[in-house]
Amino acid sequence: MKIRSLFIIIILFNFCSCKELQQTVNTPEIKNYKNLSFKPLSNKQVESFRNNALSSQILVEDGYYVWGLSVVKWEGKYHAYYSRWNKKYEHKGWMTHCEIAHAVSNKPEGPFKFVNVVLKDKKEGGWDINNSHNPYAIVAEGKICLYYIANDVKTLLEEDGQGMVYPDNQWFENNRSRIRDKQCIGVAVANKPSGPFKRSENVVVKPDGVKFKSIAVNPAVVYHDNKYLMIMKGDDVNRKKTFRIQLVGNSDAPEGIFNFNSKPVFDEVQTEDACMWFDQVLNKYYMVCHVMGKSELALFNSKNGFDWQADERKIFMKKEFTLTDGTVWKPKRVERPFVLTNEKGQPKMLYVAVYDGDVNGNIAIPIEY
């Protein structure tokens, strides 16, 4: 009986392995992104979003604002790490009351089932005692590296004579502009998707006042050729008024030190919310980002990861959705793009954060070519 059971297991294992190999072999390759298109949303999916109801392609949660996610594939399942905060803090709560949650699905489009909170909004000890936002997860060297932003508010508390007593909500309300300039980037590393995640002891990226100032946020990271390449957002040191730029840097280790190029990725207009990947077929880095004040998500490429140019496609996607009935849905806000790639590093799914009505959530859009 034991021998028979073992024989069946071996057959099933070989069948699954052959199936995965066949899927890999049969994955079509694209030579450029010029003709990429996005599968239309159904009216039912839009209705799910508006009703704050979890479904395939729609990640929302009752009682929470949900804003932006990052997805990794681990042992055949898809794991989403997303920002969420209680609705009682309103939309502005993203900056001071956000946590990073983890959900899992058998399919890249979901539906994603909540598993656990991996990084809390309020932490005991460390530089990042307040907030966890902007999750960006990658699989590197057999581990999950989860980049995020948090507020290094200890100096503010000392200035206000609060010591290390965690502040109340009124303090956060009264000090938003000060807190804004205390946002820094950290990383938490785990051996499995649900954690536990070990947070970096020190800040991974903070403003240096030379290449960028005020903030270090919106990290996007690629692990390629034994290097960690990061694009992040800071304020331009050459302008008196706030002007957001994105800089690129690399490191030998997930926790840094990241050495940033002084040349912005693009500085003709303000950009943020970069997503980055390396396409093994085209042998290039690609980035999609949110162009502030514009009606589209822009596409850039780079041969070396440091020198970027607009892709021939230029517009990756307009900030609107074509529906299956031919109509177009234009939400109030479409930001935080994240592109999930296949095993060859080519796009297969786009996730975006959407705000419309009183709902904040993430929408998955299959990429077709």
Pairing of strands 58-59, 359-368: antiparallel
Q: Which of 289, 265, 269 is nearest to 212 (CA)?
A: 265
**Range in 156-160, 188-192, 247-251, 321-325 with the lowest mean pLDDT:** 156-160
Q: Is residue 26 part of a domain?
A: no
CA distances 95 to 41, 179, 301, Å, are 30, 8, 30
Q: Kindly indicate the confidence band of residue 15, based on its pLDDT and cuts at 50, 70 and 90.
A: very low
Q: Is residue 251 part of a domain?
A: yes
d(CA 98, CA 355): 16
Q: Is residue 17 part of a domain?
A: no
Domain span at residue 182?
A: 38-368
d(CA 81, CA 56): 16
Q: Which of 318, 282, 273 is nearest to 302 (CA)?
A: 282
Q: Is the pLDDT of residue 183 over 90?
A: yes
d(CA 34, CA 277): 17
Q: Kindly indicate the confidence band of residue 369, based on its pLDDT and cuts at 50, 70 and 90.
A: confident
Task: Find the angle CA(84)-CA(87)-CA(91) to the nearest 5 degrees.
Answer: 75
Task: State the DSSP string of 60-127.
Answer: --TTEEEEEEEEEEETTEEEEEEEEEEGGG-GGGGGTS-EEEEEEESSTT-PPEEEEEEE-SB-SSST
Q: Is the pLDDT of residue 349 over 50?
A: yes
Retrieve residue 139's tokens.
Answer: 């699989």
Residue 51: HSE in the Cβ half-sphere, 13 Å Cα cutoff: 9
Q: Is residue 15 part of a domain?
A: no
Report pLDDT digits (tens) over 73-132.
999 999 999 999 999 999 999 999 999 999 999 999 999 999 999 999 999 889 999 999
Residue at token pair 């995965």: 20
Q: Is residue 12 part of a domain?
A: no
Q: Is residue 220 part of a domain?
A: yes
Q: Is residue 66 part of a domain?
A: yes
Q: Which of 210, 205, 265, 206 is nearest to 238 (CA)?
A: 210
pLDDT given for residue 125 in this prediction: 87
d(CA 355, CA 343): 31
DSSP state of 188: E
- Global pTM value: 0.92
pLDDT given for residue 243 in this prediction: 96
Number of domains in the chain: 1
Average pLDDT over residues 289-313: 94
Q: Is residue 85 part of a domain?
A: yes
Checking 343-346 for CB contacts under 8 A at 24+ apart, the result is 343/24, 343/27, 344/27, 344/29, 344/279, 344/280, 344/281, 345/277, 345/278, 345/279, 345/280, 345/281, 346/27, 346/29, 346/30, 346/279, 346/280, 346/281, 346/282
String of b and e for 217-238 (b: at least 16 CB within 10 Å)?
Answer: bbbbbbebeeebbbbbbbbbbe
Bridge partner list, 74: 77
Q: CB within 8 A of 29, min separation 6: which ones?
A: 281, 344, 346
**From the CB of residue 257, how many other CB atoms can be counted at a distance below 10 Å?**
13
Phi first, then psi, for residue 192 (nearest 5°) are -150, 160
The CATH number given to whatever domain includes residue 174 is: 2.115.10.20
Q: Kindly indicate the confidence band of residue 26, based on its pLDDT and cuts at 50, 70 and 90.
A: low
